[in-house]
């Protein structure tokens, strides 16, 4: 009897263990694995997203969603500001899926990576290819916009205006492009200071170059310092104190040349500051835009506010 009870208990234990083992198993299908990657991507955890998308490609290499996974890997690297890895991932997508619906987007992404790396010619080359791959589609319109931005970042204002005007009225970017094109047309009206004029004025009268640059405090300091050293030099030589006069002359040459260099530098800083203020104003105005877009053959009044 005891032997029977022991045997029955053993059988129950084995059955329970088998059920627990069966319940512990998890079957990961394509949808679940891709969904896990998407979850991390949407949460901003791009490196975990990359891991899950790569795991998807390992488990399901022949899946119809493989090209989507490769596109999302490239996007994740881009969002994570890993430009070189994003370029490599985009190349992988184009290599394995040259006819993918994401091919033009991948080319656009490559252009944006080069733009972030300040390689403007490379960026425009890829933007041009993206436009060729998807003419009339949003990717091409975005590529045109980014091409204009590349000229803007290079401070090539006329080229930037021309590129912004190539954004078609059917694009959602059209009101913004028109805003920036008009802004580029007016950029030459920004008040500027001539570095040469600042240098000449500083050479004629220390402090005058700073005064021209609208750096009034520096103008006063430059004038007083140079005046003090010149006065000391004259007094020393008049009293035949040639050693002190020589020392003061040496230091005065430094102050005098520094005054000229500072005035020229100040003119450049003034110009950069005014351009930055103007571009910041354009950016602020760009947050709220009113314009007309064309959808089909119908014009629509559009409003846009970014906060």
Q: What span, in angstroms and rounded, lies between the C-alpha atoms of 51 and 73? A: 9
Cβ contact 46:77 at 8 Å = yes
Select from 156, 189, 222 the last residue of a domain.
189
Closest to 127 measured CA to CA, from 106, 147, 141, 113:
147
With bands split at pLDDT 50, 70 and 90, how would you rate the model's confidence at 302? very low
Is the pLDDT higher at 268 or at 251?
A: 268
Lowest mean pLDDT segment, chosen from 70-74, 80-84, 106-110, 248-252: 248-252
Instruction: Please report whether residue 4 resides in a domain.
Output: no
Residue 160 sits in the same domain as residue 238: no
Lowest mean pLDDT segment, chosen from 102-116, 125-139, 181-195, 249-263: 249-263
Q: Domain with 66 in it: what CATH number?
A: 1.25.40.10
Lowest mean pLDDT segment, chosen from 154-163, 265-274, 295-304: 295-304
| pTM strictly above 0.85 | no
Q: Which letter does DSSP use for residue 193 in this model?
A: -
Confidence (pLDDT) at 209: 87
Instruction: Please report whether residue 112 resides in a domain.
Output: yes
Confidence (pLDDT) at 131: 95
Is pLDDT of 281 > 80? Answer: yes
Residue 59 sits in the same domain as residue 114: yes
Confidence (pLDDT) at 258: 84
Instruction: Please report whether residue 282 resides in a domain.
Output: no
Residue 178 sits in the same domain as residue 212: no
Average pLDDT of every residue of the chain:
84
Instruction: Please report whether residue 92 resides in a domain.
Output: yes
Determine the average pLDDT of the residues in 241-248: 74
With bands split at pLDDT 50, 70 and 90, how would you rate the model's confidence at 148? very high
Instruction: Please report whether residue 137 resides in a domain.
Output: yes
Residue 122 sits in the same domain as residue 245: no
DSSP string, 63-121: -TTHHHHHHHHHHHHHHTT-HHHHHHHHHHHHHH-TT-TTHHHHHHHHHHHHHHTT-HH
Instruction: Please report whether residue 243 resides in a domain.
Output: yes
Which range among 15-24, 176-185, 226-235 has the greatest average pLDDT?
Answer: 176-185
- Structure tokens belonging to residue 251: 């230091």
Residue 176 sits in the same domain as residue 78: yes
Residue 101 sits in the same domain as residue 162: yes
Residue 80 sits in the same domain as residue 172: yes
Residue 140 sits in the same domain as residue 256: no
Select from 167, 189, 211 the last residue of a domain.
189
Residue 141 sits in the same domain as residue 260: no
Confidence (pLDDT) at 2: 52
With bands split at pLDDT 50, 70 and 90, how would you rate the model's confidence at 300? very low
Instruction: Please report whether residue 88 resides in a domain.
Output: yes
Question: How many domains is the chain built from?
Answer: 2
Q: What percent of the chain has pLDDT over 70?
A: 84
Would you call 120 exposed, middle or buried from its count of C-beta atoms within 10 A (0-12, 13-18, 19+)? middle
Determine the average pLDDT of the residues in 246-264: 81
Lowest mean pLDDT segment, chosen from 83-92, 103-112, 203-212, 289-298: 289-298
Confidence (pLDDT) at 245: 67
Residue 255 sits in the same domain as residue 271: yes
Is pLDDT of 304 > 50? Answer: no
Is the pLDDT higher at 273 or at 231?
A: 273
Q: What percent of the chain has pLDDT over 90?
A: 60
Select from 147, 171, 189 the last residue of a domain.
189
Is the pLDDT higher at 250 or at 146?
A: 146
Q: 7-36 pLDDT, tens per residue? A: 444 444 444 444 444 444 567 899 999 999
Lowest mean pLDDT segment, chosen from 24-33, 146-155, 182-191, 193-202: 24-33
Is the pLDDT higher at 198 or at 230?
A: 198
Residue 37 sits in the same domain as residue 185: yes
Which residues form the domain of 221?
Answer: 195-276
Instruction: Please report whether residue 14 resides in a domain.
Output: no
Residue 200 sits in the same domain as residue 166: no
């Amino acid at each position: 009897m005891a032997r029977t009870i022991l045997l029955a208990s053993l059988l129950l234990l084995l059955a329970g263990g088998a059920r627990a083992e069966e319940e512990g198993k998890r079957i990961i299908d394509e949808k679940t694995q891709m969904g896990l990657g998407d979850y991390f991507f949407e949460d901003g955890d791009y490196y975990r997203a990359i891991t899950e998308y790569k795991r998807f490609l390992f488990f399901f290499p022949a899946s119809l969603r493989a090209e989507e996974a490769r596109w999302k890997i490239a996007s994740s690297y881009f969002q994570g500001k890993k430009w070189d890895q994003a370029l490599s991932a985009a190349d992988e997508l184009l290599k394995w899926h040259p006819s993918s619906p994401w091919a033009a987007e991948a080319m656009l992404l490559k252009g944006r990576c080069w733009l972030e790396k300040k390689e403007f010619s490379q960026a425009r080359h890829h933007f041009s290819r993206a436009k060729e791959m998807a003419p009339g589609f949003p990717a091409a319109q975005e590529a045109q916009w980014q091409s204009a931005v590349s000229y803007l970042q290079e401070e090539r204002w006329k080229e930037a205006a021309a590129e912004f005007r190539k954004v078609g009225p059917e694009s959602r970017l059209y009101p913004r492009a028109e805003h920036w094109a008009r802004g580029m047309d007016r950029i030459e009206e920004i008040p500027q200071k001539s570095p040469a004029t600042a240098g000449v004025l500083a050479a004629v009268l220390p402090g005058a170059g700073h005064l021209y640059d609208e750096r009034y405090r520096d103008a006063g300091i430059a004038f007083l310092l140079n005046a003090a050293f010149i006065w000391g030099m004259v007094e020393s030589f008049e009293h035949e104190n040639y050693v002190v006069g020589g020392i003061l002359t040496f230091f005065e040459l430094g102050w005098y040349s520094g005054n000229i260099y500072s005035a020229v530098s100040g003119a450049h800083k003034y110009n950069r500051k005014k351009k930055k203020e103007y571009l910041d104003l354009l950016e602020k105005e760009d947050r709220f835009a009113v314009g007309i877009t064309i959808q089909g053959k119908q014009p629509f009044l559009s409003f846009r506010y970014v906060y």
